Amino acid sequence: PHQDPDHQYLWRRFPDHIWSQRVRDTSSWVWNFGYDIQSANGNRRWVCKRCIQSRRPIPRNFAEKGIQNANAHLFKDHRICAPGEATKSSAQKRAEKARSRDQRSIAELG
């Protein structure tokens, strides 16, 4: 059977994993940008879809409990921002704060 090339790459990078059984919460927006897989012992991991698509030799991946690290990775490495009222990474918050400070300075000059 023909398999998606991205999935083939994912499984070559994580050969001892399977699709997660999704028994726990995946409500964070971050899960939309990652593959949800688990090892034989049931430990879930988030694997960055963008890293898989770009064939990064070591795709960024994080344990389920460290999903805030995936949030930061998406912002820092791929410039993907948290939508609307979703939880933002500290890196995104810092960038927004700096941007508003810079815009205020320019406005004050005018």
What pLDDT was estimated at residue 27? 76
pLDDT surpassing 90 at residue 48: yes
SS3 28: coil
pLDDT 10s digits, 66-98: 889 999 999 999 999 988 877 788 888 888 888
- pTM for this prediction: 0.79
How many Cβ atoms from other residues are within 10 Å of residue 95's Cβ? Answer: 16
Confidence of residue 23 (pLDDT cuts 50, 70, 90): low
Give the DSSP H or E segment for 36. strand 34-39
The domains of the chain are located at 5-109
The pLDDT value given to residue 86 = 77
